[in-house]
Amino acid sequence: MSKPNFLKDKKGISPILATLLLIVIAVSAIIVTYAWVTTFIGSQTTAGGTRLEVENVYWNSSASTTVFTVRNVGTSDAQIERLYVGERASNLVEVTAYTDLSDGKLLSVEQTVMITLDWPNNLAVAWYSGETYYFKISPEAGAAHEFTWKTPVA
């Protein structure tokens, strides 16, 4: 009696199935690579251009005003168009009408500009000392800059 040869007795997958499997793996790899490259290129192209940073926020409680000092650290000029404020990041209210942004403010590269916000009594967000507020400054083109700032304790 002879011993069975396990290597000769095993059957593999057919050549057609093997070819289809390789094609599916190759197409999947191409799709994943394409998705990664488009995401990477998109993030790299938005990294340049307009980029805003808030250097200082001055709260004047007696005049109910807030002055924002904003710098453009990007590679192209920015036209600041809108300002939003809220008590949480999820409930921002546009307050551009209560600022000096009526026609927008041009902000050249590496320059600063001051934006003054007057807190009226009928604003949906009330000004309180010692509270943290969420802000968003939106340029005409490019990504908006979101940040938080705490009011001084009176």
What are the tens digits of pLDDT across the range 7-27? Answer: 665 677 788 999 999 999 999
Residue predicted with more confidence, 39 or 48: 39
Closest C-alpha to 95, from 71, 117, 75: 117
What is the per-residue pLDDT across 79-119, written as a single tens digit (0 to 9) for each? 899 999 988 888 888 888 888 887 888 888 889 999 988 87
Q: Specify the fold of 52-150.
A: Immunoglobulin-like (2.60.40)
Q: What is the spatial distance between Cα 32 and Cα 22, in angstroms, rounded to a whole number?
A: 15
Structure tokens at 83: 């300002």
So where are the chain's domains?
11-47, 52-150
pLDDT mean across residues, the chain: 84
Residue predicted with more confidence, 90 or 122: 90
H/E segment holding residue 58: strand 52-60
Q: What is the spatial distance between Cα 119 and Cα 77, in angstroms, rounded to a whole number?
A: 28
Q: What is the spatial distance between Cα 70 and Cα 57, in angstroms, rounded to a whole number?
A: 9
